[in-house]
């Protein structure tokens, strides 16, 4: 019998990439996995049914936003986040810790917690590790991220060390505060771009014996090579038999790099954000639907893609919707972009199972690079 939370390591590629499966109370998902971001309990422009049809296995929602609107009490009264958003598969909730970083101009932070100035009505919001866990337990997500201190790239090492210490202390308080056996808490490794701080943070967090671990504070302005080195070091230090989540990854190339580092779970708003701005993601690079080259193009975005958008609509039609400002454009392009990212991860899992991920990654990056250089919009 599978426990409420358990991780199966199914294969390891010589490159260090991993194939696995994580079991939750709302089902299992295969790793490496892309998690679409449904910040407020919805993925912008899609219904939950449309989201499921893209192949998504798990989604990310944000406790900081849901506690403001509609309020965690409302979500709890409506049966929890799964029932509220009509999503039967696993849900991971972020804590609001990233807002400490992204909304730093209206945040007061101390060792006990953080106080935000709400962007909705200007009211003061106090979050502590215990309060965040209480919110996430009310929401009823499968995986809850604890409050952490993500510090800006370029900060003094002493400040980074203090932020990592605070993150560890908050993780301990979070684990002590949790009461739900059907919700897993993943402590977050911080430490900036200092490998010694990262490894020390990871070692201290592993004492908590959590079901999984995350790596935060990457891709926040540092060079890509630096982020790669930090993530590789952290993944090597974390337990082999537990999932590793890298938070807020970025482009398809960044996803492939994270898989190479040994990461299992990744999220990003970029696929849906790009869709709302008229850009389709493909395994051969971006397709900018505003381009005049698509005005009479009968082809789908990607002939190899089996999503609803590519099965049904031409580039010409999609370009028309984008230029006309029709909301349907965002819906159709989001469906495609999420399906594409799901396919990127599916291809990666297949390559890992066959022991050829390093070669697969090189080939995939070459295609992405060629497309980014401008060849994809005219590719057959």
DSSP 12-68: E-TTS-EEEEEEETTEEEEESEEEEB-TTSS-TT--HHHHHHTT---EEEEHHHHHH
Torsional sign, CA 93, 96, 97, 98: positive
Q: Tens digits of per-residue pLDDT, 9-40?
A: 999 999 999 999 999 999 999 999 999 999 99
The full set of domain ranges for the chain reads 6-268, 275-375
Q: Tens digits of per-residue pLDDT, 166-210?
A: 999 999 999 999 999 999 999 999 999 999 999 999 999 999 999
Q: What integer pLDDT is reported at residue 377 of this predicted model?
A: 53
Q: Quote the CA–CA distance of 340 and 343 in Å, as a whole number.
A: 5
Residue 352, pLDDT above cutoff 90: yes
Q: Quote the CA–CA distance of 75 and 84 in Å, as a whole number.
A: 6
339 HSE (CA, 13 A, CB side): 22
260, 62, 35, 308 alpha-carbon torsion, rounded to 10°? -150
Backbone phi and psi for residue 123, each to the nearest 5 degrees, phi listed first: -75, 155
Residue 1, pLDDT above cutoff 50: no
Residue 373, pLDDT above cutoff 70: no
Helix, coil or strand: residue 358: helix
Q: What integer pLDDT is reported at residue 371 of this predicted model?
A: 76
Helix, coil or strand: residue 249: coil
Helix, coil or strand: residue 109: strand
DSSP letter at 111 equals S
How many residues in the chain? 380
DSSP letter at 104 equals G
**Average pLDDT for residues 1-15, to the nearest whole number?**
87
Q: What integer pLDDT is reported at residue 4 of this predicted model?
A: 87
What percentage of residues in the chain have a pLDDT greater than 70? 96
Q: Would you please indicate which residues are annotated as catalytic (active-site) residues?
A: 94, 267
What percentage of residues in the chain have a pLDDT greater than 90? 88
**Average pLDDT for residues 131-151, to the nearest whole number?**
97
Tokens of residue 244, six digits? 């590793």
Higher per-residue pLDDT: 191 or 1: 191
Helix, coil or strand: residue 123: coil
Q: Tens digits of per-residue pLDDT, 252-297?
A: 999 999 999 999 999 999 999 999 999 999 999 999 999 999 999 9
Residue 246, pLDDT above cutoff 90: yes
DSSP bridge partners of 244: 213
204: left (phi > 0), else alpha (psi -120 to 50), else beta? alpha
Q: Tens digits of per-residue pLDDT, 45-93?
A: 999 999 999 999 999 999 999 999 999 999 999 999 999 999 999 999 9
Q: Which CATH class is domain 6-268?
A: alpha beta
The CA–CA distances, whole Å, from 108 to 114, 117, 168, 216 equal 6, 9, 19, 20
**Which residues neighbour 359 within 8 Å (Cβ) at sequence distance 6 or greater?**
351
How many Cβ atoms are within 10 Å of 152's Cβ, its own excluded? 15
Helix, coil or strand: residue 280: strand
Confidence at 376, pLDDT banded by 50, 70, 90: very low
The CA–CA distances, whole Å, from 368 to 166, 251, 361, 374 equal 39, 10, 10, 10
DSSP letter at 146 equals P
How many Cβ atoms are within 10 Å of 53's Cβ, its own excluded? 15
Tokens of residue 158, six digits? 């002493």
Higher per-residue pLDDT: 125 or 330: 330
Q: What integer pLDDT is reported at residue 92 of this predicted model?
A: 98
């Amino acid at each position: 019998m599978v426990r409420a939370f358990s991780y199966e390591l199914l294969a390891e590629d010589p490159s260090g990439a991993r194939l696995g499966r994580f079991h939750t109370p709302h089902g299992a998902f295969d790793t490496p996995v892309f998690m679409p971001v449904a910040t407020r309990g919805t993925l912008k422009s899609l219904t939950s049914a449309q989201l499921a049809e893209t192949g998504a296995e798990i989604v990310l929602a944000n406790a900081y936003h849901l506690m403001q609107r509609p309020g965690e009490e409302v979500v709890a009264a409506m049966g929890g986040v799964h029932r509220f958003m009509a999503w039967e598969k696993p849900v991971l909730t972020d804590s609001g810790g990233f807002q400490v970083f992204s909304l730093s101009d209206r945040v007061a932070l101390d060792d006990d917690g953080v106080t935000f100035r709400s962007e909705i009505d200007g009211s003061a919001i106090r979050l502590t590790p215990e309060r965040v866990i209480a919110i996430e337990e009310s929401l009823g997500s499968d995986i809850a991220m604890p409050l952490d201190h993500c510090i800006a790239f370029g900060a003094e090492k002493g400040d980074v060390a203090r932020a990592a210490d605070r993150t560890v202390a908050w993780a301990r308080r979070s684990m002590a505060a949790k009461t739900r056996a059907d919700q897993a808490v993943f402590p977050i490794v911080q430490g900036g771009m200092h490998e010694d701080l990262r490894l020390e943070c990871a070692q201290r967090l592993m004492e908590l014996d959590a079901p999984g671990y995350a790596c935060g504070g990457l891709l926040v302005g540092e060079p890509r090579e630096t982020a790669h080195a930090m993530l590789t070091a952290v993944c090597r230090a974390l337990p082999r038999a537990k999932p590793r989540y890298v938070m807020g990854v970025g482009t398809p190339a960044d996803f492939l790099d994270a898989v190479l580092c040994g990461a299992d779970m990744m999220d990003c708003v970029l696929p849906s954000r790009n869709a709302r701005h008229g850009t389709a993601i493909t395994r051969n690079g971006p397709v900018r639907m505003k381009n005049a080259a698509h005005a009479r193009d009968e082809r789908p975005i990607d002939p190899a893609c089996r999503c609803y958008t590519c099965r049904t609509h031409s580039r010409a039609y999609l370009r028309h919707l984008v230029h006309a400002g029709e909301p349907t454009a965002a819906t159709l392009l989001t469906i495609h972009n999420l399906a594409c990212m799901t396919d990127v991860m599916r291809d990666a899992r297949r390559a890992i199972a066959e022991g050829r991920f390093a070669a697969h990654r090189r080939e995939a990056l070459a295609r992405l690079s060629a497309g980014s250089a401008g060849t994809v919009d005219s590719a057959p």
